Amino acid sequence: MARPNFPAGFRWGVSTSAFQIEGAVAEGGRGPSIWDTFTATEGKIARGEDAKVTADHYHRYSEDVALLAELGVGAYRMSFAWPRIQPDGTGKPNPEGLAYYDKLLDAVCAAGIAPVGTLYHWDTPQALEDAGGWLSRDTADRFADYAAILAEHFADRVKQWIPLNEPMVMSIYGYGVGEYAPGKFLLLDALPTAHYQNLAHGRAVQALRAAGAASIGSANNHSPIWPAHDTPAEQAAAEWLDALINRTFADPMLLGSYPEQVHPHLPEHFADDLAIIAQPLDFYGVNYYEPQGVTAPGEGNPLPFQLRAIEGYPMTTNDSPIVPDGLRELLVSLRDRYREHLPPIQITENGCSLADEPGPDGQVHDPARIDFLDAHLRAVRAAMAAGVDVRGYFVWSLLDNFEWSKGYAPRFGLVHVDYETQRRTPKDSFAWYRKLVRNE
Residues that bind ligand GCO (CB under 6 A): 17, 20, 165-166, 169, 221, 287, 318, 349, 396, 403, 412
Rg (CA), the chain: 20
Q: Which member of 234, 239, 329, 349 is catalytic?
A: 349
Q: Which member of 166, 234, 239, 329 is catalytic?
A: 166
Closer to ligand GCO by CB, 349 or 356: give it.
349
Please tell me whether 12 is known to bind a ligand. no
Phi, psi of 28 (to 5 degrees): 65, 25
Closer to ligand GCO by CB, 116 or 237: give it.
116
Q: How far is the CB of 121 from ligand GCO (least distance, A)?
A: 6
Of the candidates 242, 413, 291, 318, which has an alpha carbon nearest to the alpha carbon of residue 46? 318
Closer to ligand GCO by CB, 320 or 363: give it.
320
Please tell me whether 357 is known to bind a ligand. no
Sequence-ordered list of residues with C-beta below 8 angstroms from that of 83, at least 6 positions apart, any chain: 30, 31, 32, 33, 89, 123, 125, 126
CA distances from 306 to 49, 238, 292, 313, 320 (A): 30, 9, 11, 20, 17
Detail the DSSP E strand segments found in 296-368: 306-308, 345-350
- Which residue lies nearest ligand GCO, judged by its C-beta? 287
Sequence-ordered list of residues with C-beta below 8 angstroms from that of 339, at least 6 positions apart, any chain: none
Please tell me whether 122 is known to bind a ligand. no
Please tell me whether 161 is known to bind a ligand. no
Please tell me whether 121 is known to bind a ligand. yes
User: How many Å apart are CA 322 and CA 313, to the nearest integer?
Assistant: 6
Please tell me whether 165 is known to bind a ligand. yes
Q: How far is the CB of 197 from ligand GCO (least distance, A)?
A: 14
β-strand pairing of 415-418 with 423-426: antiparallel
In the residue annotation, 349 being an active-site residue is answered as yes
User: How many Å apart are CA 280 and CA 254, to the nearest integer?
Assistant: 8
In one letter, which amino acid is 423? R
Please tell me whether 289 is known to bind a ligand. yes
Of the candidates 271, 263, 160, 176, which has an alpha carbon nearest to the alpha carbon of residue 216? 160
Q: How far is the CB of 178 from ligand GCO (least distance, A)?
A: 16
Pair 63, 133: CB distance under 8 Å: no
Closer to ligand GCO by CB, 81 or 278: give it.
81
Q: How far is the CB of 118 from ligand GCO (least distance, A)?
A: 9
User: How many Å apart are CA 292 and CA 239, to the nearest integer?
Assistant: 12
Q: How far is the CB of 419 from ligand GCO (least distance, A)?
A: 16
Closer to ligand GCO by CB, 139 or 318: give it.
318
Q: How far is the CB of 392 from ligand GCO (least distance, A)?
A: 16
Closer to ligand GCO by CB, 258 or 404: give it.
404
User: How many Å apart are CA 87 and CA 96, to the nearest integer?
Assistant: 11
**Residues within the annotated binding site for substrate?**
20, 121, 165, 289, 396, 403-404
| Binding residue ranges | 20, 121, 165, 289, 396, 403-404
Q: Which residues are identified as catalytic?
A: 166, 349
